[in-house]
Structures are given as structure tokens and as C-alpha cells.
Copies of this chain bind each other. A is one copy, B any other.
Amino acid sequence: MARPQLTAFEHVLLGLICSAPSSGYDLKRIFAATPMGIYQPSSGALYPALRRLELKGLVRAQSFDRAAPSVRHRRVYEPTPMGREAHASWLSTPVEAATVSRDLGLHLMRFVMMEHERPRGEVLEFLHNLTEALSAFVAELQRYTEVTELGAHARLALDHGLAVHRASLRWAEHTIAALSAKTPGE
């Protein structure tokens, strides 16, 4: 079975299942509780996605709880070894400069999931990677504003892009410092 590529949503689901065995309903509640319901997956997206992960052999469902025989009908998903491997490999995916802006939210999600799952060295490497990608993006935006003739509003909108990505960049640098300080030797 060739390593099938997953959607961003599937990767996030797999990650959540790796951090704790969960049913579809559990996952729904996690999304609902998370810093505002920025993304609220519908049943029609969630349950088929879980079935796809199962079909690909990345998760496995227990339809009953051995402990309590009278539990409600629910399918609790656990990662398979292959699923854990796929998740780890996703966490270790390098940040691509070309898509750093588009995927920033996803990278942050990966960063959150790296805690306790990847060694500090790799987390720092990820952050350095992110810093470089953001620097490149900011530089390119900057260059574009200088080279191109633009309307007043278009220029202001680009200023916005520069401001927020510089804020991301500062965050990444600050976070490297904070995590490096925790343990003297990397």
C-alpha cells in the first residue's frame, strides 16, 4: 500500500486521535471548544473523513468499550502503528517558503502537536525553518511594493500583509529564544 497522501483536515484528525483515542463526537467537541469555532466541521465532512482514515489503515475503531458494556453506540478511534508513523512524518514535514503564508495556520497546528511528540531539537529546527520561510516571504512582498506601481488602497493592503507577516516572524524568533532558554544545551 503506497503511502496515501492525506488532506490537511485528515492530518489534523489523525493528530488528534494520536494524542488521545477519540470518537467523531469527541473530535467535534474539540473543534467547537478550540479558540472560537474558526472551523466547525460538519458531520458530512467529519464521519466520512474518519472512515477514509480507517480504510487507509491509519486508525482503527472499537465499537464497544470493554470496561462498560452498556455504553452508547460510539466508534472510538485509535491510531495504528502506521497511523502514528504517518502522523510523525507529517509533523516533520519541512516548511515550504512558497506556501508559508497560505499554510501558516496549519503550521501552527503542527507546532502545537509537536509538544511531547517530537524532541526539542526538531521543534527548534521547525521554528528556524519557519523563520527563514517567513523572512523570504516578507522580503518578496517588500520587493514587490518597491517595484510595482500600485493604487493607494492596494499599497495599504500590502502594508497589512507586511505587518502581519512581520508579526509572525517576530513571534517565531521570540519563540525560538523562549524554547532555547528552557534547556541550556540544545
| Chain A residues packing against B (C-beta within 8 Å) | 35-36, 38-39, 98, 101-102, 108-109, 111-116, 137, 140-141, 144, 151-154, 156-161, 163-164, 166-168, 170-171, 175, 178
User: Whose C-beta in chain B lies nearest to the C-beta of A113?
Assistant: B153
User: Whose C-beta in chain B lies nearest to the C-beta of A144?
Assistant: B35
Q: Give the secondary structure class of A's interface.
A: helix
Within 8 Å CB of A114, what residues of B? Answer: 153
B153/A163 in contact, CB under 8 A: no
- Looking at the assembled complex, report how far the CB atom of A33 sits from the nearest CB atom of chain B, in whole angstroms: 9
B102/A151 in contact, CB under 8 A: no
A163/B157 in contact, CB under 8 A: no
Copies in the complex: 2
Give complex CA distance A154, B19 in Å: 14
Within 8 Å CB of A111, what residues of B? Answer: 153, 156-157
Q: Across chains A and B, which 10 residue pairs bring their CB atoms closest together, nearest first?
A: A115-B153, A167-B167, A163-B167, A112-B153, A164-B164, A108-B157, A160-B171, A164-B167, A163-B171, A112-B157
Give complex CA distance A75, B111 in Å: 46
Give complex CA distance A115, B108 in Å: 34
B158/A35 in contact, CB under 8 A: yes
Within 8 Å CB of A171, what residues of B? Answer: 159-160, 163-164
- Looking at the assembled complex, report how far the CB atom of A98 sits from the nearest CB atom of chain B, in whole angstroms: 8
Contacts known (A111-B157, A153-B114); A101 close to B168, Cβ less than 8 A: no
